[in-house]
Structure 1
Amino acid sequence: MQPNPTLDQLQVFKVVAEEGSFSGASRALNRAQSVISYTIANLEAQLELQLFERTGLRQPRLTEAGKTLLQDARRLLGDLDTIRARVAGLKQGLEAELSIALSVMVPSAAVIQVLHAFKVHFPSVAPVLNVGELGMVMNMVRDGTASIGIGTALDENDDRLEIERIGHSFMLPVAAQDHPLAMLNRPLALADVREETQLVVTDASGLTKGRDFNVLSYHTWRVGDIATKHELIRNGLGWGGLPAAVVRDDLRSGRLVHLDLKAYEQGEYPLYAIHRRAFPPGPAGRWMIDQFREILSRCPSKHEFNSRLEALREADLPQAAE
């Protein structure tokens, strides 16, 4: 007789594999650990395959067969989420409220432009805005706090999320105009910044735990948000990278200076629209994603932006770039 595993069994199998333990799956699914163990045992009996190695191990470990079948389980459960999403979309009317998680990397000019148009098109829908750093956007969408997220995607392999690229942003190394690095008035080497204090944002979401991005100095001050980092840099307490959208006016006025530091990676940071596959955005949310895509897709390339940055004293910076 052919095995006939249930979707619930596959869901439990997937969660045990991702959590790394039966106790972790128990907490994630809010079920007794004995129920989790019983479900996996029944699934292995049906398949006539051992999915986890347990003997002599503190935590279950996937067998080779388990690793192979996990891919199939993820695909099937992803298809189920797609079906649920389509059904929800067919049933769903206009949202009464739209919760949005926005990354600080999204240019404020783009946010204001979208919200002005949103107010005209959907006067009855109340937007709830949450602005944060790094992994906050993904976490808020993942746990259902936000219906949609606009920002960076630190984990593009989460089967629960639909992630679509809609634009990009830039980070620039800057310092106050009277900072020692700015006053060198020449291209900087790595040795120039090693002993200078660098301001670094700590990711409260935990998604980047153990990872640092463009941290080049031996001396760092860690802060909780971009706004604090921006203010400290503007007042000469260190140097660091800031979204170009945040420092645009400071660069134009001369209060901040762009540091010509080749060791600092100034590549494009992709910006994504993120939502849960099982709970797709309604008409207002879909409209907002499309509007952000239309605006952010017009951002200049890295080369174009750097060319305009070099001509900062003679030309204005683009509003929606950065």
Structure 2
Amino acid sequence: MIGNLSLDQLRILVTIADAGSFSAAGRQLSRAQSAISQSVATLEAAQGVLLFDRSGHRPRLTETGRVLVSQARTVLSSAARFEAVAAGARGGIEPELALAIDPLVPTGPLIESLRALHQAYPHLPISFSTEGLGGALRRLRNGDVALAFCLLLPVVPPDVVASSLFRVALTPVVGAEHPLARLDRPATCADLESHIQLVLSDPVERDANNYGLTGATPWRFVDLGRRLDFLLAGFGWCRMPEHLIADHVAAGDLVRLDLAEDAQAPGDALTIYAARMVDKVPGPAGQWLLKDLQARLSL
């Protein structure tokens, strides 16, 4: 009961609207037609509105009634989700699964596993946090999320349990009109140092590891999309995840740089991990997601 309103009254109202009549609703709900009529009359009296026009052969929803039927559907749907989450919690399922994702992590590999997770746990709320570099690990340590999909450089911290998922290829690129794009030979460190390097950096720990820093003139970015905008505008060069620049390279907006040996980074790919805190094991849904993702990526 919500004040003078009950979920049963709302259920009867919606059933009448769907079934087309009081008698049909009574048959569907295994109630006498008189009980259905009394419930509607009580609801009308409590709310001070007329839900049905009874002047004709068969009661019809008034304009107010049609609007309130829509509202009733929303309330009943919310109530069903409320009960499902409560039932899941009684069974040990986490009431919400919170995930944090580093900006360099492609969401593509996660989508199918999350789709399957929704089918397995249809009422489980899922929240995502995508922040600047290092933000996923901070949220994990703060207890805001159960799992983080992130980079862990230079090594996996001792307070974290991490499973490597896949590697993201990094490609040095530059705008098509940039001077580096017109070199007819591999670019050396000397070539790169005279140009702006667009660096993705941790917005909180400014002294943290600078991933792939080569140039003497770095411009630091927190947002990967913003860095791509500057790259496309010809403001500098950088190493970008291959999945983000492939279409731009194909369209001719970006050019892959051939780097000389002295300008090459130690590695041409970054490992993406699924991480959790040592002392906090994810609930059943989080464990289900992690196992499904690992299984899909191993195919």
How high is the TM-score relative to the length of structure 1?
A: 0.59
The aligned residue for residue 304 of structure 1 is none
Provide the rounded CA distance (Å) in 1 between the counterparts of 2:235 and 2:285: 43
Rounded to whole Å, the distance in 2 between the matches of 1:183 and 1:293 is 42
For 2:287 and 2:234, the matched residues in 1 are separated by 42
SS in 1 for 2:123: coil
Question: Which residue of structure 1 lines up, in the alignment, with residue 229 of structure 2?
Answer: 231
Distance 1:157 1:214 in 2: 18
Find out whether 1:220 has 2:221 as its counterpart.
Answer: no
1:275 is aligned to 276
Give distance in 1, aligned partners of 2:215 and 2:158.
37
Amino acid across the alignment from 2:209:
R
Distance 1:224 1:293 in 2: 29
Alignment match, 2:243: 245
Q: Give the gaps of 5 or more residues in structure 2.
A: 1-89
Q: Which residue of 1 aligns with 2:114?
A: 115
Partner amino acid, structure 2, of 1:270: T
Q: CA deviation at 1:155?
A: 6.6
| Partner SS, residue 242 of structure 1 | strand
Question: Which whole-Å CA distance do the structure 1 matches of 2:250 and 2:238 have between them?
Answer: 18
Code of the aligned partner of 1:100: L
Question: Structure 1 residues 135, 273: closer, same or farther in 2, change over 3 A?
Answer: same
Task: Provide Cα deviations, 1:29-59, integer angstroms capped at 9, x if missing partner.
Answer: xxxxxxxxxxxxxxxxxxxxxxxxxxxxxxx
Deviation at 1:106, TM superposition (A): 2.1
Q: How far apart are the structure 1 equivalents of 2:244 and 2:128?
A: 18
Q: Does 1:128 align with 2:117?
A: no
Q: Following TM superposition, by how much is the alpha carbon of 1:251 offset from its aligned partner in structure 2, in angstroms?
A: 2.2
- Structure 1 residues 210 and 165, CA gap change in structure 2 (3 angstroms): closer
CA drift of 1:210 comes to 4.9
Q: Which amino acid aligns with 1:163?
A: A
Aligned residue for 1:247, secondary structure, equals helix
Query: How far did 1:233 drift?
Result: 0.3
Q: Which residue of 2 aligns with 1:169?
A: 168
Which residue identity does 1:184 align to in structure 2? L
- Distance in 2, matches of 1:157 and 1:103, equals 15
Larger Rg: 2
Q: Is the 8 A contact 2:171 2:268 kept in 1?
A: no
Which residue of structure 2 lines up, in the alignment, with residue 202 of structure 1? 201
Deviation string for 1:281-320 (max 9, x for gaps)?
112111222233234446xxxxxxxxxxxxxxxxxxxxxx
Q: 1:3-45: CA deviations, max 9, x gaps?
A: xxxxxxxxxxxxxxxxxxxxxxxxxxxxxxxxxxxxxxxxxxx
What is the one-letter code of the residue matched to 1:135? G
Unaligned runs of 5+ in 1: 1-90, 299-322
Change (3 A) 1:142 1:286: same
State the 4+ residue runs in structure 1 displaced beyond 6 angstroms: none
Give the direction of change, closer, same or farther, for the CA distance of 1:264–1:294 in structure 2 (3 Å limit): farther
- Cα RMSD (Å): 2.2
CA distance in 1 between partners of 2:190 and 2:296 (Å): 39
The CA deviation at 1:212 is 2.4
With over 3 angstroms needed to count, the CA separation of the structure-2 counterparts of 1:96 and 1:236, relative to structure 1, is same
1:97 touches 1:128 (CA, 8 Å); kept in 2?
A: yes
Change (3 A) 1:159 1:189: closer
Give aligned-pair identity as a percent.
Answer: 27
Output aligned runs, 1:8-27, within 5 Å: none
Offset, 1:278: 2.1
